[in-house]
Amino acid sequence: MGLGLSGFTDDDRNFQISKNLDLLNSIFKELDMFYVDSLDVEKVIQSSVDGMLSSTDPYTEYYPEEEESTLKEMTTGKYGGIGAAIRYYEAKDRIAIIEPTEGMPAAEAGVKAGDIILSVGGKEMVRGDMKPQDFSSKVSEALRGEPGTSFVLKVLRPLKNDSTVMEFKVTRKSIRTNPIPYFGMVRDSIGYLTLTGFTENCAKDFKKALISLKQQGAKSLIVDLRDNGGGSLTEAIDIVNYFVPKNQEILVTKGKLKQAQNSYKTQNEPLDERIPLVVLVNGSSASASEIVSGSLQDLDRAVIIGSRTFGKGLVQTIRPLPYNATLKVTTSKYYIPSGRCIQAIDYAKKNADGSVARIPDSLTTVFHTAAGREVRDGGGIRPDIEVKGDKIPNIVFYLMNDDLIFDYATQYCLEHPTLSSIEELKITDADYEAFKKLVKSRNFTYDRQSEKMLKTLKEIAEFEGYMEGASEEFKALEKKLSHNLDRDLDYFSKQIKSYLAEEIATRYFYQRGRAMERLKEDEDLEKAIEILKDPVRYHQILSAPEAKTTDEVAAAAVSSETKR
């Protein structure tokens, strides 16, 4: 009779489980029978489930039968519908089409971003007393259905000086989101591809793109995993396999149960074991993205560029429940080739208030790559070359939240019916003046952090009795930090123009356009190109510390070029 969790023997633990389940069942029955008002059964039970799961991690989730499609879409990237992103649009208190997917039913029927949904299949789509999120879910559910079924979609379409009601007959189909919205040659013989998620069969899409790039003359490759939140573990390993030998161990999972402990090795011969490779990552690159970038780093197979990744080293398993419900539960942690786990947060060690914190760098452990380079566990993947991008200005967040960037893109497209190429897209000074005019016409206001902090500081100064001697200084500071919309729109014009251009590019060329527009002024991309155009430096970064003499690295670079 061994010790279980929390110091209990196995028998003690089983008794505690049985006892507390009986108590939970009895409490609900007593409430249902004696509570003064009738209970919403599903709501009460859901609250109990939510409370139970809150003691685990954010990735352990319960999906009732009606949310099965959500889980399936998340894991496979497939669903039956029209292929369009939607969002609550406050100005009309309706749901707006945000982005039709290229080649899918909505786009094929003529639906455009900016269209306001009025009815689906003759059913009026009005919010009533629903929360915006619930309203969005209701409309999303109405748009989805069995592939092959048709309905009439009625929308309100903005025009230059007015709007008009339009109707489209849309036939649903099986929708699969494209995990590689763009790939192409970015400079001379350097190929580039962006992967947005590790959904079912994405490795096959990756392979096709890689082969196409090599046929176009790519002699080195940039793989963009920025903002890729992850997905299938096996798809990630298949992608790593394209660049490393067969039978290479990529991943080990370790969990409480024996079936959660596995070793994952590459199964096939690589497509290209020698092509110089750079992987771009950022703070939103997580899970499967970290398996790919971390494994290629541990095996000294790619130079990682960008900012430190999210740090999710947990593996989830789908467990079926009664009544067609599902539990997505964390069953193990994963360890990449160096032996490190990149999980950044220990959810088993929560603070008294329920909060959790990242593992501090001082408590992380040093591991080594195949060549002997130092890498660390416990905090995501640290890039070989860090590029700190600009933070999103506060004003941009509010411009997006108030749909001003979205609305200007709609207005721009009405005034420019066609755009021949992404290269042609440029936000001119006249365009930006038109945007500023739109912003001012809406009486736009936003929460400036400097003003909030100054107000807090004043309150503290008054409380502690320092205000009298510092009042003149506070007045001078208030004057300097006074809300000046014109000044802020001009000061942050470069960043705002960038977001405007991305939104507009998406209207003409869908996700492919957004990806291409982002590459126009991309520090990470430029650094990747710089490294790939310098074979000596590329091999120096991936070499063992003691072997990093210029002559040795240059010889290795020449040898690699010759073998390719």
Catalytic residue among 220, 285, 287, 289: 287
pLDDT value at 93 more than 50: yes
> Could you give the CA distance from residue 15 to residue 315 in angstroms, rounded to a whole number?
29
Tell me which of 459 and 415 has the higher pLDDT.
Answer: 415
pLDDT at 446: 79
Q: Would residue 436 show up in a list of annotated catalytic residues for this protein? A: no
pTM of the model: 0.86
pLDDT value at 418 more than 50: yes
pLDDT at 517: 97
Catalytic residue among 205, 298, 431, 522: 298
* CB count in 10 Å sphere of residue 341: 19
- Predicted confidence (pLDDT) per residue in 273-286, tens digit: 999 999 999 999 99
> Whose structure tokens read 């959810």?
347
- Residue 477: φ, ψ to 5°: -70, -40
Where in 13-149 does DSSP place strands (E)?
A: 61-63, 78-81, 84-89, 94-100, 116-120, 123-124
> Could you give the CA distance from residue 214 to residue 505 in angstroms, rounded to a whole number?
27
pLDDT value at 410 more than 80: yes
| Element holding 170 (H helix, E strand) | strand 163-171
- Predicted confidence (pLDDT) per residue in 195-237, tens digit: 999 999 999 999 999 999 999 999 999 999 999 999 999 999 9
Q: Would residue 134 show up in a list of annotated catalytic residues for this protein? A: no
- Predicted confidence (pLDDT) per residue in 94-124, tens digit: 999 999 999 999 999 999 999 999 999 999 9
Domain ranges for the chain:
5-56, 78-176, 182-386, 394-447+484-525, 449-480, 534-563
Q: Would residue 40 show up in a list of annotated catalytic residues for this protein? A: no
**pLDDT confidence bin for 515, thresholds 50/70/90:** very high
**Inter-residue contact 499 to 401 (CB < 8 Å):** no
Stretch 378-393: mean pLDDT: 89
CATH class for the domain made up of 182-386:
alpha beta
Region for 83 from its dihedrals, namely left if φ exceeds 0, alpha if ψ lies in -120 to 50, beta otherwise: left
pLDDT value at 27 more than 90: yes
pLDDT value at 155 more than 80: yes
**Inter-residue contact 298 to 370 (CB < 8 Å):** yes
Based on the number of CB atoms within 10 Å of its own CB, is 462 exposed (0-12), middle (13-18) or buried (19 or more)? middle
Least confident stretch, 236-245, 343-352, 492-501: 343-352
pLDDT value at 367 more than 70: yes
CATH class for the domain made up of 78-176:
mainly beta
The mean predicted confidence, pLDDT, of the chain is 90
> Could you give the CA distance from residue 45 to residue 325 in angstroms, rounded to a whole number?
14
- Predicted confidence (pLDDT) per residue in 121-137, tens digit: 999 999 999 999 999 99
Catalytic residue among 154, 312, 436, 527: 312
**pLDDT confidence bin for 393, thresholds 50/70/90:** confident
